[in-house]
Structure 1
Amino acid sequence: MPGAALAVGLVGATATIALALAAVGSAAVAGQRVASAADAAALAAADAASGAVSGAPCERAAEVAATAGTRVQACDLDVLVATVTVALQLGPLTATAAARAGPPP
């Protein structure tokens, strides 16, 4: 039965590698999702700061972030430039991303 033990070992190693690759892929998707939410929230805040849309800039950023399933951790305004940091809880881990939007310099 040495062949059976080898087969079980190979199946176990293959399953472990597949699970590790799935976790890495999931983390990559979550990172892109958080970055995208930060970009959209910063754009919404900058639009509100410039008067292009109504509302308070950081409230607009929070609304857009919530739509993407994230939450705003920080929202700073420097005249018309908005810097927004959003977070996404992934089990015991938290993924964060920051984005800045406003008129060109």
Structure 2
Amino acid sequence: MRRREGTSGREATASAGRTDPDDAGSASVVSVSVVVVIAVLAAAALAGTQALAERSRVAGAADASALAAADAAAGLVTGGGGPCSLAASLARANAVELSSCDVDELVVTVVVTGSAPVLGVAVRASATAGPPPSAPRRTGPGP
């Protein structure tokens, strides 16, 4: 190693590892920046997964409400004040709100709304239940 003019051997050796004396502590700033970016990405991923989980939960509540209402429309379930009333009570039991209920003979379509816990975004789902289109239309109780 060559010695700089006007410096002692110890100073030349100490400054040989650094390119610029103003870089002191820059690794700490970069490390903190990386940790902050990772924390922000983790928070975004958590919020996204909770929204997806809420969407699945609301869709399940819509399916259950539509199936119960279709059973009531077909006369398989008695009491409860009709298909839409039964759908509303099932929606409440699943912690969602029944937004609409449409009964067309034995086919029932419901729309329910919930909200994602972290984001507070409204999540809507709809479901239709009833006999398959190829099945003969019957009203009243089954056999």
Compute the TM-score of the two structures, normalised by the length of structure 2: 0.71
SS in 1 for 2:123: strand
SS in 2 for 1:26: helix
- Stretch moving more, 63-72 or 91-100: 91-100
Compute the TM-score of the two structures, normalised by the length of structure 1: 0.96
Q: What is the number of equivalent residue pairs in this alignment?
A: 105
**Deviation readout 1:9-59 (Å, 9 max, x if unpaired):** 010000000001001100100100110000000001000000100131001
Higher strand share: 1
Q: Which has the higher contact order (CA 8 A, sep 6+)?
A: 1
Q: Percent identity?
A: 43
**Structure 1 stretches of at least 4 aligned residues deviating more than 6 Å after TM superposition:** none
1:73 pairs with 96, 99, 106, which one?
99
- Stretch moving more, 51-60 or 91-100: 91-100
The answer for the alignment partner of 1:25 in structure 2 is 49
Q: Which has the larger radius of gyration?
A: 2
Matched, 1:14 2:42: no
The answer for the alignment partner of 2:73 in structure 1 is 49
Higher helix share: 1
